[in-house]
């Protein structure tokens, strides 16, 4: 009981109170003002860019993150432990470093011959970088705990590798993948630091939601900043809720 | 060999390979063609995974190290030993040392509650955990100011108690804890689900207290989830810039963490200083992973002994 | 439920609160102390100014804490409770905010320099050799010229840039409508609107764009650092004026006052001048190196920041807001 109380206090101090303050701020001018803020064409463009980019990014994350996790757990090659250790670096590096380095690598004088700086592709690239660890790190522990016996049993009963993957491995991994996808999506929607340098922040073109919000804060327009944050928040909530729903139905289906 | 034992070895170790070859040798002779095909698939996956990582992760990280050391080692040592740099280093460690244990305890408790508990509003609570990610860190900082700042909801009350939160270390700890809140919960929950309740129920039937069950059965079972959660929390806590920047006031040698220091150096076109601090952050994150690995191995040996 | 978890969690909470208490008490202490809160650009100047002040008789034994960041953000932090004895911002409205909050005296700008600490002018930074032959504002709207300026909604510096470009058109005899049309054409050529002047400079040095609108002092300090750039002072340009103010009362306010006095003395202004800032008093050694453009004008000649902010940068109806929208709508499709 005490434990639950402490969990509640912690959550209140860290999340509930600040979000309540944010909601209150976004509704200071009433519903009309809220609507005006979020239907501002620049805000709409920024929100749209952020949401579309985030969806693309999480799909790529789901596929590549799972493959990377699988390779890190089941495969063996020289330097694997080094690769495994590097996975978390996108979190530890301050986002401004990510921005500077991505600009140097994939900008005008790209040593790799890839120039995406100041395009919408740059938004995706930066988001892929900062969200890389999520799916990998949520799938990895489950793969580690996953019993090989089931896969072997299925294989010995004549199931093709594709069938084993589809019927046994993926359903077991699904909660972890979805968990990682949910976190990636949420993070992608909120990401700011790495986008600032590499996208050029052109309104209507490469200005992401978080950057627009930052501009509104700087511009003393706190209500607009809060309103757009609330919209992005609800979009993220919706996606999270859908994913949870999907997950529940799925697990009921499997059991 | 139970799967969790293999897991304990296989983060850097060769257990994965052992298991793969086990499977190969366990197969009957007709499986030779199948083994070749599986080998091909494995290579394919490896090429895809490594190629993706090379472009997205290895190249940027190599670039950071190159930029740091391109003028030799002595400018790096000079940059790392300035008073502002060392102060930022210790402040970052202090904040991580408070925020990460808090988030770990919260995360395990919350994961158990969400996975094992049955109560109304559980899914809402679950979604609530992820909220801190969906809000731009800048907005997290702003909303903390709205609650704990001088003109915020609790501003007067906090001032009466003589507690300053915003523009001092407690506010920075809170901001750090908020942005890294979901990791342990989210990393632990899938493992908890995979683990199931059979062993826990068996232990309880045999008369173990809930506390014993937790330490002897649940925690060892979920330790990989917790480990990754802690590693991610630490990494994220170390690297956080936006939220901390707003609540810190950026006072040099007082409220400047390593990421704020990096920003400060970049702003002043001191790229050696900035990249050096970035490398320090990267090394701290790697050290966390290493330490967590050692720790889990040690505890495993202890429980086996 | 696990009592030990509870105990651990409680002790950790207590530790956090303990730290909170430390944080609040460390503000006191013996000796005179000045908390300086300033915008990003002059950080390297304060590195020179503070030791020079500490070497004077007034500055003996005075210790400093320093905070640097975007002008608007710094001002808001002080308004929200960040302790400051001296503030130095990019724009006057950032000090006015504190005056409105009662933190700065309402008469803060009634001194010999009208509250200003440094001057500068808006210049155009180009690549070495000036390959696009840019000599003034009219070259920036030519087809194919890529211009960088920070986002005027996030950066104080960018507002100086916009008003410099606009005011220069009026100075050349254009009508306000023509000057607005010029701004539209200018923003049409803007390829990147970074969040701060420093970020714009990073982008420019990374190889993007042909021209960057910036402060003269930034251009001078970058050239000194060996960046492959040149800068053009347009014939008509704006006088950038950066304010300084003292906050609070008591002994630290006295120390703060003497620090500001020092910065406004010929010795202090000489340090600013050596770093590329134009002095606000006459008779400062090194001031002669700054040519006065024939068509120099001030923000007051455009109506002052209060009116300009409302007319140009209001979130819904400002002229620049509308320009960004019209360009966005036409190019996004």
Q: Are residues C39 and C51 in the same domain?
A: yes
Q: Is the pLDDT of residue C25 over 60?
A: no
Convert the pLDDT of each residue in B101-148 to its tens digit: 999 999 999 999 998 888 888 878 887 888 888 788 888 999 999 999
Q: Are B10 and B23 in the same domain?
A: yes
Q: Which of C12, C20, C193 to mutate to test the interface with A (most CBs of A within 10 A)?
A: C193
Position C24 pLDDT exceeds 70 = no
Q: What percent of chain A has pLDDT over 70?
A: 97
Q: Are C133 and C217 in a shared domain?
A: yes
Let me know whether C57 and C201 are in one domain.
no
Into how many domains does chain C fold? 2
Distance from CA of C324 to the nearest CA of A (A): 7
Q: Count of CB atoms within 10 A of residue B161's CB?
A: 13
Residues C128 and C229 in one domain: yes
Q: Which of B55, B70, B85 is the last residue of a domain?
A: B70
Both C279 and C311 in one domain: the answer is no
Claim to verify: residue B25 and residue B129 sit in the same structural domain = no
DSSP code string of C67-94? EEE-HHHHHHHHHTT---SEEE-SSHHH
pLDDT tens figures, C249-300: 777 888 999 999 999 999 999 999 999 999 999 989 888 889 999 999 999 9
Contacts of B141 in chain A (CB under 8 A): none
pLDDT band at A1 (very low <50, low <70, confident <90, very high): low
Beta bridge partners of C25: none
Contacting C residues, span 193-212, partner chain B, CB-CB under 8 Å = 198, 202
What is the overall mean pLDDT for chain B?
Answer: 83
Residues B44, B110: one domain? no
Q: Which of A196-200, B93-97, B243-247, C15-19 has the least mean pLDDT?
A: C15-19
Q: Say whether both B51 and B84 belong to one domain.
A: no
Residue C42: pLDDT above 70?
A: yes
Interface test with A, best of B134, B198, B226, B273 (most A CBs within 10 A): B134
- pLDDT 10s digits, C134-169: 999 999 999 999 999 998 887 878 899 999 999 999
Put simply, whether A228 touches C (Cβ < 8 Å) is no
**Three-class DSSP category at C280:** coil
Residue C27 CB neighbours (<10 A):
14
The H or E element spanning position C304 is helix C304-313
From the list A180, A42, A199, the residue with the least C-alpha distance to A127 is: A199
Q: Do C112 and C195 have their domain in common?
A: no
User: Mind telling me how many Å the CA of A35 is from chain C's nearest CA?
Assistant: 13
Is A63 in the B-facing interface, judged by CB distances under 8 Å? no
Chain C residues with CB-CB distance to A41 below 8 A: 325, 328-329
For position B24, what pLDDT does the model report? 38
How many residues can be counted in chain A?
255
**Per-residue pLDDT at C331:** 46
pLDDT of residue B28: 43
The reply to whether C159 and C223 lie within a common domain is yes
Selection from C133, C205, C147, C227 nearest residue A108 by Cα: C205
A64-112 tens-digit pLDDT: 999 999 999 988 889 888 898 889 889 888 887 888 888 888 877 777 7
Same structural domain, B46 and B84:
no
Among the partner-chain residues A95, A141, A142, the one whose CB lies closest to the CB of B241 is A95
Q: Does residue B70 sit in helix, strand or coil?
A: coil
Q: Which domain holds residue C143?
A: 120-239+293-332
**What pLDDT was estimated at residue B99?**
96
- Helix B137-148, helix A222-254: angle, nearest 10: 110
Q: CB pairs below 8 Å between B and C: how many?
A: 94
Same structural domain for residues C87 and C230?
no
What is the CATH classification number for the domain harbouring C78?
3.40.190.10
Could you tell me which chain A residue has the CA closest to the CA of C317? A40
> Residues B211, B277: one domain?
yes
Q: Minimal Cα–Cα distance from B232 to chain A, Å? A: 7
The string of DSSP codes covering A133-202 is: HHHHHHHHHHHHHS-HHHHHHHHHTT--HHHHIIIIIHHHHHHHHHHHHHHHHHHHHH--HHHHHHSTT-
Q: What is the mean pLDDT of residues C123-137?
A: 95
**Residues C208, C102 share a domain:** no
Most confident segment among B52-66, B117-131, C17-31: B52-66
**Arch. (CATH architecture) of A30-254:** Orthogonal Bundle (1.10)
Q: What is the pLDDT of residues B113-123, one digit of tens each?
A: 998 888 888 87
Contact C332 A100 (CB under 8 A): no
Both B125 and B51 in one domain: the answer is: no
Q: Please check whether residue C43 touches B, CB under 8 A.
A: yes
Do residues C158 and C301 both lie within one domain?
yes
| Contact flag B164-C23 (C-beta cutoff 8 Å) | yes
In a domain, C18, yes or no: no
Cα angle C54, C60, C63 (rounded to 5 degrees) comes to 65
B217 and B107, same domain (yes or no): yes
Whether residues C195 and C324 share a domain: the answer is yes
Taking the domains of chain A in order of start, what are their residue ranges?
30-254
B90 and B23, same structural domain? Answer: no
Residue A161: predicted pLDDT:
79
Contact C77/B249, CB-based, under 8 Å? yes
CA distance C215 to chain A (A): 20
Q: Is residue B25 over pLDDT 50?
A: no
Pairwise CA distance, residues B297 & B292, whole Å? 9
Q: Which residues of A touch B133 (CB under 8 A)?
A: 183, 186-187, 189-190, 236
Strands C86-88 and C33-39: parallel
What are the chain B neighbours of A146 within 8 Å (beta carbons)? 3, 194
Q: Residue C306's pLDDT is what? A: 92
Same domain, yes or no: B233 and B204: yes
Q: Which residues are within 8 A (CB) of A125 and not within 5 positions of it... i.e. 6 or more apart? A: A102, A106, A116, A198, B56
Whether C194 maps to a domain, the answer reads: yes
Do the chains contact at A118 and C191, CB–CB below 8 Å? yes
The residue of B163, B170, B212, B256 whose CB has the most chain C CBs within 10 angstroms, and thus the best one to mutate to test that interface, is B170
Domains identified in chain B, total number? 2
Distance in Å, alpha carbon of B164 to nearest chain A alpha carbon: 15
Are C129 and C215 in the same domain?
yes
Please check whether residue C177 lies inside any domain of the structure.
yes
Residues 198-237 of chain A with CB under 8 A from chain B are 209-210, 213-214, 217, 222, 225-226, 229, 232-233, 236-237
Interface with B, mutate which of A25, A61, A93 (most B CBs under 10 A): A93
Boundaries of domain holding B10: 1-70
C287 DSSP 8-state letter:
G
- Cross-chain residue pair B137–A192, CB shorter than 8 Å: yes
Nearest CA in chain B to C74: B249
Check if A2 contacts C (Cβ < 8 Å).
yes
User: Domain for residue C56, yes or no?
Assistant: yes
Whether C6 is covered by a domain: the verdict is no
Q: Specify the pLDDT at position B19.
A: 38
- DSSP for residue C289: G
Query: Would you tell me how many other CB atoms lie within 10 Å of the CB of residue B20?
Result: 17
Which of B83, B156, B250, B273 to mutate against chain C (most C CBs within 10 Å)? B250
Collapsed DSSP state (helix, strand, coil) of residue C56: coil
Chosen domain end from B43, B70, B97: B70
Q: Is the predicted pLDDT of residue B34 greater than 70, yes or no?
A: no
* C195:A201 CB<8 A: yes
Are both B220 and B254 inside the same structural domain? yes
Taking only the tens place, the pLDDT of each residue in C62-112 is 999 999 988 888 999 999 889 999 999 999 999 999 999 999 999 999 999
Chain A hits for B244, CB-CB cut-off 8 Å, are: none
pTM attached to this predicted model: 0.85
What CA–CA distance (Å, rounded) separates A223 from B49?
Answer: 44
Are the CB atoms for A213 and B139 separated by under 8 Å?
A: yes
How far is the alpha carbon of C166 from chain B, nearest alpha carbon, in Å?
28
The domain boundary, picked from B22, B38, B70, lies at B70
Give C75's contacts in chain B (Cβ within 8 Å).
none
């Amino acid at each position: 009981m005490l434990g639950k109380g402490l969990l509640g206090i912690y959550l209140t101090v860290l999340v509930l109170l600040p979000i309540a303050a944010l909601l209150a701020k976004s509704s200071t001018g009433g519903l009309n003002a809220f609507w005006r803020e979020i239907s501002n064409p620049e805000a709409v463009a920024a929100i749209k860019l952020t949401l579309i980019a985030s969806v693309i990014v999480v799909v790529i994350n789901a596929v590549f993150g799972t493959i990377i996790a699988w390779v890190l757990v089941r495969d063996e090659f020289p330097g694997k432990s080094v690769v495994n250790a590097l996975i978390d670096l996108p979190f530890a590096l301050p986002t401004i470093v990510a921005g500077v380095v991505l600009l140097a690598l994939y900008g005008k004088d790209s040593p790799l011959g890839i120039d995406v700086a100041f395009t919408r592709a740059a938004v995706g690239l930066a988001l892929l970088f900062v969200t890389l660890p999520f799916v990998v790190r949520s799938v990895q522990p489950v793969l580690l705990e996953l019993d090989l016996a089931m896969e072997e049993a299925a294989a010995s009963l004549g199931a093709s590798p594709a069938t084993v993957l589809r019927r046994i491995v993926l359903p077991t991994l699904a909660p972890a993948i979805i968990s990682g996808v949910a976190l990636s999506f949420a993070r992608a929607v909120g990401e700011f630091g790495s986008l600032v340098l590499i996208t050029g922040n052109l309104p209507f073109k490469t200005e992401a939601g978080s950057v627009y919000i930052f501009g509104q804060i700087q511009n003393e327009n706190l209500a607009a900043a809060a309103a757009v944050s609330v919209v992005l928040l609800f979009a993220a909530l919706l996606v999270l809720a859908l994913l949870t729903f999907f997950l529940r139905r799925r697990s009921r289906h499997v059991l | 060999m139970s799967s969790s034992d293999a897991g304990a070895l296989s983060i850097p170790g060769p257990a994965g390979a052992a298991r793969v070859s086990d499977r190969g040798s366990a197969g009957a002779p007709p499986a030779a063609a199948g083994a070749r095909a599986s080998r091909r698939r494995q290579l394919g996956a490896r090429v895809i995974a490594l190629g993706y990582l090379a472009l997205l992760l290895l190249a940027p990280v190599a670039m950071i190290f190159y930029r740091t050391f391109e003028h030799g080692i002595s400018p790096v040592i000079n940059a790392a030993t300035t008073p502002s740099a060392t102060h930022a280093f210790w402040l970052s460690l202090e904040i991580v040392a408070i925020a990460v244990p808090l988030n770990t305890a919260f995360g395990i408790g919350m994961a158990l509650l969400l996975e094992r508990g049955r109560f109304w509003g559980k899914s809402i609570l679950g979604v609530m955990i992820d909220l801190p990610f969906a809000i731009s860190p800048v907005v997290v900082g702003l909303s903390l100011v709205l609650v704990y700042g001088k003109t915020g909801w609790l501003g007067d009350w906090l001032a009466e108690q003589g507690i300053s939160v915003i523009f001092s270390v407690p506010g920075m700890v809170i901001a750090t804890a908020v942005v890294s809140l979901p990791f342990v919960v989210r990393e632990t929950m899938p493992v908890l689900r995979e683990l199931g309740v059979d062993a826990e129920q068996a232990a309880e039937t045999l008369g173990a207290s809930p506390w014993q069950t937790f330490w002897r059965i649940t925690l060892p079972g979920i330790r990989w989830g917790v480990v990754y959660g802690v590693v991610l929390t630490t990494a994220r806590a170390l690297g956080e810039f936006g939220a901390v920047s707003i609540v810190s006031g950026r006072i040099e040698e007082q409220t400047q963490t390593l990421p704020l220091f990096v920003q400060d150096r970049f702003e002043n076109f001191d790229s050696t200083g900035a990249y050096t601090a970035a490398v320090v952050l990267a090394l701290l994150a790697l050290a966390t992973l290493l330490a967590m690995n050692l720790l889990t191995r040690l505890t495993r040996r202890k429980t086996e002994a | 439920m696990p009592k030990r978890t509870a105990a651990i969690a409680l002790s950790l909470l207590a530790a956090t609160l303990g730290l909170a208490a430390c944080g609040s008490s460390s503000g006191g202490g013996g000796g005179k102390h000045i908390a300086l809160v300033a915008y990003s650009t002059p950080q390297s100047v304060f590195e020179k100014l503070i030791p020079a002040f500490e070497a004077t008789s007034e500055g003996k034994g005075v210790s400093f804490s320093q905070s640097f960041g975007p002008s608007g953000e710094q001002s808001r932090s002080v308004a929200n409770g960040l302790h400051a004895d001296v503030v130095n911002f990019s724009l006057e409205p950032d000090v006015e905010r504190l005056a409105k909050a009662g933190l700065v005296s309402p008469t803060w700008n009634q001194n010999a320099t009208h509250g200003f600490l440094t001057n500068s002018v808006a210049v155009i930074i180009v690549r070495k050799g000036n390959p696009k032959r840019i000599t003034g504002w009219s070259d920036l709207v030519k087809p194919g010229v890529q211009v960088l300026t920070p986002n005027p909604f996030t950066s104080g510096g960018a507002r100086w840039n916009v008003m410099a470009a606009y005011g220069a058109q009026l100075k050349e005899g254009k009508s306000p409508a023509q000057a607005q049309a010029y701004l539209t054409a200018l923003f049409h050529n803007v390829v990147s609107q970074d969040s701060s002047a420093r970020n714009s400079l990073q982008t420019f040095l990374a190889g993007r764009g042909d021209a960057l609108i910036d402060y003269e002092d930034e251009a001078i300090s970058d050239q000194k650092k060996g960046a492959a750039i040149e800068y053009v002072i347009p014939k008509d340009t704006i006088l950038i004026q950066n304010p300084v103010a003292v906050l609070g009362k008591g002994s630290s306010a006295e120390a703060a006052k003497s620090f500001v006095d020092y910065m406004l003395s010929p010795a202090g202004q000489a340090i600013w001048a050596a770093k590329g800032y134009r002095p606000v008093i006459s008779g400062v050694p090194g001031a002669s190196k700054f040519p006065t453009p024939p068509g120099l004008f001030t923000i007051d000649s455009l109506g002052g920041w209060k009116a300009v902010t409302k007319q140009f940068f209001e979130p819904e109806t400002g002229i620049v807001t509308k320009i960004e929208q019209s360009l966005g709508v036409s190019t996004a499709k």
